[in-house]
Amino acid sequence: MPKPLRIRRAVAMAERSRLCLVRHGATAFTEAGRYCGHSDPPLSGAGIEQIRTLRARLAPRLNDNLAVFSSDLRRAIQTATLLLAAPFRQLPSLREIHFGDWEGKNFEDTGCTAPETLLDPTFHFPNGESQMQLQARVAQAWHETIAPALADRVVVVVAHAGSLAALRLLLHQLPPREFWNYLIPHAEALWVRHE
């Protein structure tokens, strides 16, 4: 049986090392089922309302001792601005996967005849990037910038479905094939305990 002091230390560590992952609100691209990636549309009216609703839910869990990181794409910046009354640092490495020639298209318009290829983490979007490249840049952002901020603050990361899934795989030490199982819906926050 663990000693009470060890339990108190574990609880204190968990409280100090909270990590909140937030996906941006909806955009006109996402509402139309179009690949957004590195394209830079703003939040839609519905996306703005989603973030206002999320802000009301998150407010009780946030304090003044925040470290906030955001993708440098407009939809993430707008989300961070609407969500938090705190300064934040923009990290290009938190951008969504680059869909290349698929940007702005629906899947049906891509000409892809083998949708199962998307499950392969090494699949490279034409003139874009692969899931493995996404995971490498997100891992670098985590190790060099985000993780060090967890020392004694609540850390909020505002980004995209793909970059947040890549971060979750890293934190849970899961294989790349699990990527599609770890997507966060629009305007949702996921609290992760990082030891």
> Which positions are annotated as active-site residues?
24, 96
- Which of these, 149, 132, 116, lies nearest to 19 by C-alpha position? 149
Residues in the chain, how many? 195
Cβ-defined contacts of 169-172 (< 8 Å, 24+): 169/135, 170/135, 170/138, 170/139, 170/142, 171/19, 171/142
* Interatomic CA distance for residues 54 and 168, integer angstroms: 20
Q: Which strands, in side-by-side order, build the sheet including 66-70?
A: 89-90, 66-70, 154-159, 18-23, 189-193
Q: What is the CA radius of gyration of the chain?
A: 17
Strand partners for 90: 70
For residue 97, give every residue at least 6 positions away whose Cβ sits within 8 Å of its Cβ, in sequence order, or none: 37, 125, 128, 129, 131, 134, 160, 162, 163
